Structure 1
Amino acid sequence: MFSKQTFLICLFLISINYAASAQKIKLFNGKDLKGWHADVPAKDKNPDTPASFIVRDGKLVSMGNPKGHLITDAVFSNYRLEVEYRFTGKPGNCGVLVHASTPRVLYKMFPKSLEVQMQHQDAGDFWCIEEDITVPNMEERRGPKEKWGVSAGKERRIKNLTDGSEKPLGEWNSMSIECFGNTVKVWVNGVLVNEGTNCTASKGQIAIQAEGAEVEFKKLELTPIKN
């Protein structure tokens, strides 16, 4: 028989677990694209252009084409984003954009943001899209300093720390992106693959790309981080 003290301890632990789970925000509900909006330039000229983002069998699917972005309606800061994804066929390009704001600032396509690359075999690279970030060994991972920049024609790619963190094609990968203040950290399948500081943005929308390859997402879950 439980003592009163044991009962109170159990109740306390239950309340902590409930509070932790209650603050998680499911960005994708498994049913529809509520809370998101698409920005697909091809639809400007032809509204009947096929959808770049759909829900299929309880998963959010980036069809790859027409190219564009699926963007959250809400703005977020100080959070950890958990993503589970896989390429369904031929491997290719995709990405999760954090701190997204002004649409179509690069190539009349990409919103101002910091992209966390998901491209097959390059998962965890940073791509600077009119926002910037600093990492260790910057010249080794970004190229000559005089070529750095955040706009077209500049060295915007910052290579990740590891190779081989992704699972074989067709299997599910997990990606965790932690944004806190001006720092951004990225894990792929539990391995820290990139970390940067002095990011020029600390809040914004979250976006998923359609950039040529079909990708399924079965989890997009955000947990706020308290200051």
Structure 2
Amino acid sequence: MKNAIWISIISCFIFLSCGNLKQSAGTSDNDKGTWKKLFNGKDISDWFVKIHHHEVGENYGNTFRVEDGIIKIRYDQYGDFNDQFGHLYYKTPYSYYHLKFEYRFVGKLQKGAPGYTLLNSGVMFHSQDPRTMLKEQDWPISIEMQLLAGLGDGKPRPTGNMCSPGTDVIYKGRISPDHCINSTSKTYDGEQWVRGELIVLGDSLITHIINGDTVLQYSKPQIGGGVANGFDPKYKQDGKLLSSGFIALQSEGQPVDFKNIEIKQLRRQ
């Protein structure tokens, strides 16, 4: 009789333990999230624009447009570029996530655009809300995954780099003194599609991936440094860690295309 009781107790314990394990595994799967399309392939109704010299919401010159299931950044309605650096922001800020997208450079640099913007664009993240930006603020306080293409001269020009308008990051154990940090990626020439990914863990580790290869890692994104100009000083709190923010596609004089923009929220550690 005693043996039967102990067998029942043990069986019950095993059943409950297995149930808890299954529940834990299910919870873990749910926390990992699923991929969500940020760009629906049809329009940019879930996005909004801020361009230097213009108020938030004004898509000057139809800079950001959708054609053939692609977000196209164009300047055919501009005259001189006139430092009209712009950004297209997704409507929701994010903190812990895995972002993936494809991009390609096309066409020629717009007249009057700075030389360094040739075959140059980027994805901004942990950005300030563009509705807090002044009309004459050139760059959002943010971290940038810089996207470059080769210049066809045989010289290396990596993509998936980090640039820091109004921010700092910890790289190799210290705050980087450089505005941009080069990745270890290959050089991609011509008008080819390249796959970019960002894995962002709040205000801790950030990983850049190009065509499946990890090319750069750094940590502790925070407000600081220079480069951004014309901002409201109350939003430039140097030393403040950036744990979340907006994601934006960049326009700085070079025509560029984006597609297949998706995000998966990650479980906080």
Query: Would you say same fold, with TM above 0.5?
Result: yes
Residue 79 of structure 1: which of 77, 82, 97 is its match?
A: 97
Q: How many pairs does the alignment contain?
A: 194
User: Counterpart in 2 of 1:214?
Assistant: 255
- Indicate conservation of the 8 Å contact 2:89/2:247, yes or no: yes
User: Counterpart in 2 of 1:129?
Assistant: 165
What is the rounded CA distance, in whole Å, between the counterparts of 2:260 and 2:209 in structure 1?
15
Q: How does 1:112-127 map to 2 (within 5 A)?
A: 112-120=141-149, 121-127=157-163
Q: Deviations over 1:161-187 (max 9, x none)?
A: x142x4331111000100013211001
Q: Give the drift of 1:22.
A: 7.2
Structure 1's unaligned 5+ residue stretches are: 1-14, 143-147, 149-154
Q: 1:203 to 1:48 in 2, by over 3 A?
A: closer
User: Counterpart in 2 of 1:156?
Assistant: 179
4+ long deviations beyond 3 Å: 18-22, 102-105
Q: Is 1:191 aligned to residue 191 of structure 2?
A: no
User: Counterpart in 1 of 2:70?
Assistant: 59
Q: Give the drift of 1:136.
A: 2.0
- Indicate conservation of the 8 Å contact 1:39/1:69, yes or no: yes
Q: 1:48 to 1:63 in 2, by over 3 A?
A: closer
User: Counterpart in 2 of 1:10?
Assistant: none
What is the rounded CA distance, in whole Å, between the counterparts of 1:206 and 1:48 in structure 2?
17
Instruction: Compare CA radii of gyration and give the structure with the larger one.
Output: 2
Q: Give the drift of 1:76.
A: 0.5
- Indicate conservation of the 8 Å contact 1:42/1:49, yes or no: no
Residue 97 of structure 1: which of 98, 108, 124 is its match?
A: 124
- Indicate conservation of the 8 Å contact 1:102/1:112, yes or no: no
Q: 1:212 to 1:122 in 2, by over 3 A?
A: farther
- Indicate conservation of the 8 Å contact 1:179/1:202, yes or no: no
What is the rounded CA distance, in whole Å, between the counterparts of 1:194 and 1:128 in structure 2?
14
- Indicate conservation of the 8 Å contact 1:127/1:156, yes or no: yes
User: Counterpart in 1 of 2:235?
Assistant: none
RMSD: 2.8
Q: Deviations over 1:82-117 (max 9, x none)?
A: 011111224511100010015458x82111110010
Q: 1:169 to 1:138 in 2, by over 3 A?
A: farther
Structure 2's unaligned 5+ residue stretches are: 1-25, 76-80, 109-117, 150-156, 223-241
- Structure 1 range deviating more: 49-58 or 21-30: 21-30
Q: Give identity over the alignment, percent.
A: 27
User: Counterpart in 1 of 2:190?
Assistant: 169
What is the rounded CA distance, in whole Å, between the counterparts of 2:89 and 2:59 in structure 1?
20
TM-score, length basis structure 1: 0.75
